[in-house]
């Protein structure tokens, strides 16, 4: 383990989960500052958004993927962007302090969120 990243490499799974949720919340806050069509009221709201997004991605997204499998295959997987946007809009409807203006902002938000999460979560990867 090297340098400052030693602190960000927890050994136990619950701590790693909490750290991932906090990094996801940080990504939500960053994107709310960058994207004019997305807003989040506070860091606490961003943490709630991260938790709700995780739950929806775990529980609802697999069902949507199975139900829309034919159109996903026909569009060569591009329909998954629509499913991601639906999950984002559902989260915005469930949480008062989180706003997404339109479907297209939800698509852009989901794409940038995936990229930003990949960057932030790469910090958690342990040295091999």
29-33 mean pLDDT: 96
Say yes or no to pLDDT of 37 above 70.
Answer: yes
Banded pLDDT at 46 (limits 50, 70, 90): very high
126 contacts 9 by C-beta, under 8 angstroms? yes
**How remote is the C-alpha of 49 from its chain's centroid?**
8
Domain ranges, ordered by start, for the chain = 11-122
Q: What angle do CA 62, 67, 73 make, to 5 degrees?
A: 95
Q: What is the pLDDT of residue 9?
A: 61
Phi and psi, residue 90, nearest 5°: -65, -40
Look at residue 79 and tell me whether its pLDDT is greater than 50.
yes
Residue 81: what pLDDT?
95
- Residue 100, helix vs strand vs coil: strand
pLDDT band, residue 126 (cuts 50/70/90): low
Nearest CA to 61 out of 70, 69, 71 is that of: 69
Q: What is the mean pLDDT of residues 56-65?
A: 94
């Amino acid at each position: 383990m090297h340098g400052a990243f030693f602190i960000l490499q927890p050994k136990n799974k619950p701590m790693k989960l909490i750290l991932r949720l906090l990094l996801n919340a940080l990504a939500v806050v960053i994107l709310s500052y960058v994207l004019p069509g997305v807003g989040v009221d506070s860091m606490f709201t961003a943490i709630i958004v991260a938790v709700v997004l995780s739950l929806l991605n775990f529980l609802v997204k697999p069902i949507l993927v199975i139900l829309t499998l034919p159109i996903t295959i026909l569009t060569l997987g591009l329909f998954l962007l629509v499913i991601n946007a639906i999950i984002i809009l559902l989260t915005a409807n469930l949480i008062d302090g989180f706003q997404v203006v339109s479907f297209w902002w939800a698509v852009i938000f989901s794409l940038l969120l995936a990229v930003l999460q990949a960057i932030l979560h790469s910090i958690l990867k342990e040295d091999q």
